Amino acid sequence: MAVDLLALYPKLVHLMLDTVFVVDRDNQIVFVSDACEALLGYRASELTGTTITDYMHPDDLEASHASIARVMNGQSHMDFRNRYIRKDGGIVHILWAAFWSMEVGARIGVARDITALRQAEDDLRFLAHHDPLTKLTNRSLFNERLDAALREARQHKSTLALLFLDLNEFKGINDVHGHAMGDSVLCMTARRLEGCVRETDTVARMGGDEFTVLLTDIQSPDAVSKRVEQILMKMAEPLGAEFGAIKMPSCSIGVALYPADGEDADTLLNHADDDMYRIKRHHRSTE
């Protein structure tokens, strides 16, 4: 039996999971497939005759206009990404493949919803530079920021401080109350440390129960001492009722100042680490 493929094309277009747009040279939508409702929340009849740029995220308009110009100049754009605002106010990330049809006199574009993909990409980027448990900066990103801060300090002849913090007797929490409760204590430690620093400073988890804090543009050693005292006071606050009888462990904090205690990252980290263990040994000897 012969099949009239041309007669099937309109039905096939509306069966596509991706959305097909046909847009004239004035950015008016002249056709859109039925998948638009899943993509943007509008029925095809609501979009036809309206201006497509009205639905674009304002922050993406400049790049979108550049892509439109490229397509209308005869250059297909097969991998353009931008954001649209749905009827319900939500944001959808879209991957476009588009070309200019001389025969039709319009842009023809196919839009794919990549919101889930974009979120997965963002999550992977975050995990590459952050500790998955505490969400703090991880060792890799901390080292990058320390190197950048040292370059800045050398250029402007300023001072920075590096704090190395370790929880005292943290192993006992894991051994007695379990690792889940230990993880909760580590997360609480992270939040308390974040509450003691400026947005320009960096708190990182180096591993286990060890944390570092990078304080930039320090005015004096006294300012660092006050910050250490603030952290110690914050860490000494009782835990909430959800922690039961568990007490917040005390902490030992080692300090290294640039340039007094070292002029490179390794020297500063070693100095702060040694200082922290000196304080920890003193803590054990006075118990």
pLDDT, one tens digit per residue, over 92-128 is: 999 999 999 998 899 999 999 999 999 999 999 999 9
Given a cut of 80, is residue 4 above it in pLDDT? no
Say which residues have a Cβ less than 8 Å from residue 257's Cβ, sequence separation at least 6.
159, 160, 161, 162, 218, 221, 224
% of the chain surpassing 90 pLDDT: 76
pLDDT of amino acid 35? 95
For the chain, where do the domains classified as CATH 3.30.450.20 start and end? 5-119
pLDDT for residue 3: 47
Tokens of residue 225, six digits: 């001492």
The CATH-assigned architecture of domain 130-285 is 2-Layer Sandwich (3.30)
Structure confidence at residue 77 (pLDDT): 87
Per-residue pLDDT for 285 more than 80? no
pLDDT of residue 172: 87
Neighbours of 50 (CB within 10 A): 14
Q: Average pLDDT, stretch 199-211? A: 94
Q: Let me know if 209 is a catalytic residue.
A: yes
CA angle at 179 for the pair 175 and 185, rounded to the nearest 5°: 100
The pLDDT tens digits for 140-197 are 999 999 999 999 999 999 999 999 999 998 888 888 888 999 999 999 999 999 999 9
Distance CA 159, CA 102 (A): 63
State what percent of residues in the chain have pLDDT above 70: 95
Mean per-residue pLDDT over the chain, rounded? 91
pLDDT at 86 over 50: yes
SS3 content of the chain, % helix, strand, coil (to 5): 45, 25, 25
pLDDT of 241? 85
Q: Residue 2 above 50 pLDDT?
A: no
Instruction: Assess whether pLDDT exceeds 50 at residue 219.
Output: yes
Give the domain 5-119 fold.
Beta-Lactamase (3.30.450)
Find the catalytic residue in 131, 166, 209, 275: 209
Q: How many CB atoms lie within 10 A of CB 183?
A: 14
Q: Is the CB of residue 258 less than 8 Å from the CB of residue 264?
A: no
Domain with CATH 3.30.70.270 in the chain: 130-285
Q: pTM of the prediction?
A: 0.77
pLDDT at 33 > cutoff 80: yes
Does the structure show a pLDDT above 90 at 62?
A: yes
Give the model's pLDDT for residue 242: 86
